[in-house]
Amino acid sequence: MRADMHIHTTASDGTWDPAQVVTAVCNAGIEFFAISDHDSVANVEETRRLADAAGLRFVSGVELNSTKDGHNYHILGYGIDTNNRQLLELCRHNQKLLEQKDDDSVQNLIDRGWPLSMEEFAQYSYDPHRGGWKALAYLQDKNLCGDVNDFFRRIFTAENNLGFPDFPSIGEVVKVIHDAGGIAICAHLASDFHGAGMQEYLPRLVDENLDGFECYHSGHSVENSRLLAHFCRRHKLYISGGSDCHGNFVPTRHLGIPKIRTEMLYLPWLQ
């Protein structure tokens, strides 16, 4: 079966709602998939209902922010109980950190002389189907920012004293995922999101209680995917993979790319 285990929806920063995701999955010939929104499970059960009706195999998922040694890691939780109290509390906690970072980012830019208003930002709202998050949409509508790449290249930088908040530790996040009945997978370790790359960060994670890694990802080279899958097989860790598609929000990520078949993966639902 074709598989894509990393898809975002309007519950976080994607442009597709559950019905649009299922339609796109069907059109792409994908039969086994998960949605994994940032710190949210709001669209999981609706997507499950629609996937079941379409005859697709679906796994509940979430992508949780964590911090280790000042570096941001994304931990995918698969097979989680979306009603688990601790999981929902962690999602709310991380969402509040991100909302505060939005406020701090706009205030920081105001302090640097940007023509913005905290009062206006507090009242600002946007259509989630456009993707992204509040501060990005606000800056775009003020004609001060282009796409998401422009935001991270020119605005959300150390030079502007902006960066990710300190999220709970990897160990805390993994424990919540396990207590919610799921498995914990480190996302896109070999992508440019991690800057120095897999060779730098993989050794830092060997002592964490992770269940596996996302070996196949739109931001991974073929060679790094091969090496990471070999590492997982050698250490009997789960192997996942996905496009990290955000609908139309991130133009370089497309549903079903890289092409993944279920025999490339090692996950409990495929045994």
User: For position 200, what pLDDT does the model report?
Assistant: 87
Domain-by-domain residue ranges, the chain?
2-82+168-270, 91-155
Does residue 61 carry a pLDDT above 90?
yes
Angle CA 62–245–239, to nearest 5: 60
Q: Where are the alpha helices (DSSP H) in 144-271?
A: 148-150, 170-179, 198-205, 222-234
The model's pTM: 0.96
Task: Give tens-digit pLDDT for 131-167.
Answer: 999 999 999 999 999 999 999 999 998 888 888 999 9
Q: Classify 68 as helix, strand or coil.
A: strand
Q: Span 196-206, mean pLDDT?
A: 87
Q: Classify 223 as helix, strand or coil.
A: helix
Identify the residue whose tokens are 């080279």: 221
Q: Measure the CA–CA gap between 88 and 109, rounded to whole angstroms.
A: 32
User: For position 195, what pLDDT does the model report?
Assistant: 64
Q: Measure the CA–CA gap between 8 and 11, rounded to whole angstroms.
A: 8
Provide CATH code, domain 2-82+168-270.
Answer: 3.20.20.140
Structural element, H or E, at residue 76: strand 71-78
CB 78, CB 44: distance < 8 Å: no
User: For position 147, what pLDDT does the model report?
Assistant: 92
Distance set, CA 67 to CA 36, 49, 215 (Å): 18, 33, 20
Distance set, CA 238 to CA 153, 197, 232 (Å): 33, 20, 6
Q: What is the DSSP letter of 168?
A: P
Burial class (CB in 10 A: 0-12, 13-18, 19+), 149: exposed
